Amino acid sequence: MKISIPLFISIITPLFAQEASSESFLNSQSFIFTIILVIVIYYFIKKEKNLEKSYHQIEAVINTTIESIIVSQNYKCIDFNESALKLFKITNKHDALGKHPLDFIAQESKELVKKKIILDNADLYEAMIVTMDGEKIPVLLKGTNIIVDGKHLRISSIIDISELKDRESKLISQSKLASMGEMIGNIAHQWRQPLSVISTSATGMHMQKEMGLLTDDEFYKYCEVINEHSQFLSQTIDDFRNFIKGDSKPVRFDLKNDTDSFIKLVDATIKRNNITIILDLEENIHIQGYPNELIQCFMNIFNNAKDALVENNDEDDRFIFISQIINENNVIIEFKDNAGGIPEDIIDKVFEPYFTTKHKSQGTGLGLHMSYNLVTNGMKGTLEVKNDEYDFNGKHYKGACFGIVIPLNIS
SS3 content of the chain, % helix, strand, coil (to 5): 55, 25, 25
In this predicted structure, what is the pLDDT of residue 407?
Answer: 93
Determine the 3-state secondary structure of 47 from DSSP: helix
Taking 70 as the pLDDT cut, the residues of the chain under it are 1-66, 168, 171-183, 185-187, 189-190, 236, 239-248, 353-366, 411
The closest alpha carbon to 263, from 338, 324, 195, belongs to: 324
- Cα 172 to Cα 119, 160, 305: the distances in Å are 35, 20, 20
Return d(Cα 81, Cα 268) in angstroms, integer. Answer: 58
Return d(Cα 78, Cα 99) in angstroms, integer. Answer: 8
Cβ atoms 382, 314 nearer than 8 A: no
Cβ atoms 157, 62 nearer than 8 A: no
In this predicted structure, what is the pLDDT of residue 29?
Answer: 52
- Cα 349 to Cα 55, 129, 134, 289, 366: the distances in Å are 43, 32, 39, 27, 12
State which H helix or E strand residue 298 sits in.
helix 291-312
Burial 326-339 (b: 16+ CB within 10 A, else e): eeeebbbbbbbbbb
Pair type for strands 276-281 and 251-254? unpaired
What are the backbone angles phi and psi of residue 213, rounded to the nearest 5°?
-105, -5
pTM: 0.52
Number of H helices, E strands in the chain: 10, 12
For the chain, the straight-line distance linking the first and the last C-alpha, in angstroms and rounded, comes to 69
Return d(Cα 87, Cα 385) in angstroms, integer. Answer: 38
Residues whose CB falls within 8 Å of the CB of residue 281, separated by 6 or more in sequence, listed in order: 255, 256, 259, 322, 323, 324
What does the angle CA 226 – CA 228 – CA 234 come to, to the nearest 5 degrees? 100
Number of neighbouring beta carbons within 10 Å of residue 51: 11
